[in-house]
Amino acid sequence: MSIFGRQRRFTSPSIPSLEAPLPPVSQLPETSAPELFQVVGPGASQIVTFGGRPSLFTTLSREPSIATVDGFLSPGEIRMLRILAFGRMHRSKVAGKNYRTKSGFQSSVRTSSSTGIAKGKNSIVRKIEARISQLCGLPSEHIEPLTITRYRPGEFYGPHVDWFPSKGRNADFVRKSGGQRVATVLVYLNDPKAGETGAGTFFPKLDLRIEPKKGRALIWQNVDSSQKPLDLTVHEGEPPELGTKFIVTAWVREHPYKRVKR
């Protein structure tokens, strides 16, 4: 069952409307994207709290479910993530079984640099993982280690999907490591340079472009309610033209994630 399936019912009686004055933080509902997608229609926004932080949830698409959450990470949390990544960036790889290196592949489709952050690395990473878990409505054990990616001018991640094919030579690895990537959460870690026109995330089949903004999370479902991969989720990481783009990505599995040898 997809975490974004329709049968989950929204139970909070008191989500405030945007027109109403903002209630004190403690009164804002703590909720999750699957619940919010039931009540916040495409194009609509709702103020909610994730991990005690007031954030603005905006539904961009319902099928597939895609939303942004402004203010999802604080400037201090972003600073800490960037410090953890400093000096540890290597050319990004794409998922797949490489029999020679026993990890993913370098590919001309993905020209950025990345690094992984060990699960529960420190108290702030644990807090961020817990917030992503709340956003997805799944336990934090389902989240793969966070990946920080840096794009220098002209670097990009071409059109691709995040879901795994159900058959093929990686099927065993996918099953053992936690199953399908049911959702993706990425957070922009900096604002684009003044005059920057690229550096967003683009879903070509939906003609949907998300503007990067420091602290803004982007969440989408990769499979439907029967675990069928969604072709409409093809997306691309646009290259910055003037400055550097930093993001952190969390791929969220169907079952608890396990690091397994390929």
Ligand X SMILES: O=C(O)CCC(=O)C(=O)O
Q: Which residues bind ligand X (CB under 6 A)?
A: 157, 162, 186, 201, 235, 237, 247, 249
Residue closer to ligand X (CB basis): 180 or 249: 249
Residue closer to ligand X (CB basis): 37 or 157: 157
Tell me whether the omega of the peptide bond preceding residue 64 falls within 30 degrees of 0, making it cis.
yes
**Shortest reach from residue 120's CB to ligand X, in Å:** 21
Helix/strand/coil for 6: coil
Residue closer to ligand X (CB basis): 84 or 247: 247
Question: Among the residues of the chain, which ranges form H helices?
Answer: 33-39, 75-85, 123-136, 171-176
**Shortest reach from residue 91's CB to ligand X, in Å:** 14
**Shortest reach from residue 8's CB to ligand X, in Å:** 25
Residue closer to ligand X (CB basis): 46 or 150: 150
Residue nearest to ligand X (CB): 237
**Shortest reach from residue 180's CB to ligand X, in Å:** 15
Residue closer to ligand X (CB basis): 32 or 201: 201
Give the integer Cα–Cα distance in Å for 175 and 173. 6
| Span between the terminal Cα atoms of the chain, in Å | 27
Reference 64, options 217, 206, 226; nearest CA is 206
Give me the helix-helix angle, 123-136 and 75-85, nearest 10°: 120
Give the integer Cα–Cα distance in Å for 147 and 227. 24
**Shortest reach from residue 237's CB to ligand X, in Å:** 2
